[in-house]
Amino acid sequence: MSGASLAAERLLRETEGLADEAFIAAVARSFPGRIAFASSLGPEDQVLTHLLMAQDPGIPIFTLDTGRLPEETYELIQETRSFFGKEIELVFPDSAEVEELVRERGPNLFYESVDNRKACCNARKVLPLKRKLAGYDAWITGLRRSQSVTRGGLARVEHDAANDKVKINPLVDWSREAVWSYLRAHALPYNKLHDRGFPSIGCAPCTRAVRPGEDERAGRWWWERADQRECGIHVQDGKVTRRRIEVENVRAPRQA
């Protein structure tokens, strides 16, 4: 068992039953200077930014700039920086890796096969994230279980085996309604595409508006099966959850 796996197990024990704000504060204390928030600028991420700024504004925030984001996302990055007075670092892919991939398979390779799409996500998202996380012991995400069928097994604290880091999902059991209620109550900035039927937003060519009755992530890589629609940064051995830490006899209800 690695040091990160042990740290995840310990953190789960220490934070079981804590309300969201207390949980985030405990997480920050556990990794001083060694934790970062990987924001995708979704509603959950904006809520988390607000919570993090209240508990520990020194935690670095970064987002992956794949080079193919919608213009509305870049507008939101600028607006978010101004709103919170906080730097949102843009992490870029290796240009040589992207150039080689496009040269060999074309600029819109992702429509041709799942393997091509995963290769594009790997170059533009997975590898840049791995390089960025090398300087940290833990990272925070805005993942929720109810976002899609691929995320139902997520836990609040996990061991990210692919990067050997502690992975923190503070809003894992929040509903979409709870996220938007919090966001509106605090007048937080959000992507304008959400008002046009885009509940989940990634790269421009791989995102569409959803239809009535579809799940939140149905507009991501919509030409693929629902159980394939992940970019790879939250996947290990074909599953979204990396390693869910189970702790026996620790099931106290969270305190309000």
- Residue 239 bridge partners (DSSP): 236
d(CA 87, CA 80): 9
Q: Is 120 a catalytic residue?
A: no
Say which residue the tokens 């069928």 belong to: 149
Q: Are 124 and 107 in contact (CB under 8 A)?
A: no
If one counts every other C-beta atom within 10 angstroms of the C-beta of residue 211, the result is: 10
d(CA 192, CA 76): 8
DSSP, collapsed to helix, strand or coil, labels residue 38 as strand
DSSP, collapsed to helix, strand or coil, labels residue 221 as coil
d(CA 169, CA 130): 18
Catalytic residue chosen out of the listed positions 121, 203, 206, 231 = 231
Q: Report residue 91 as tokens.
A: 């992490």
Calculated CA dihedral for residues 139, 144, 145, 150, nearest 10 degrees: -70
**Residues labelled catalytic:** 231
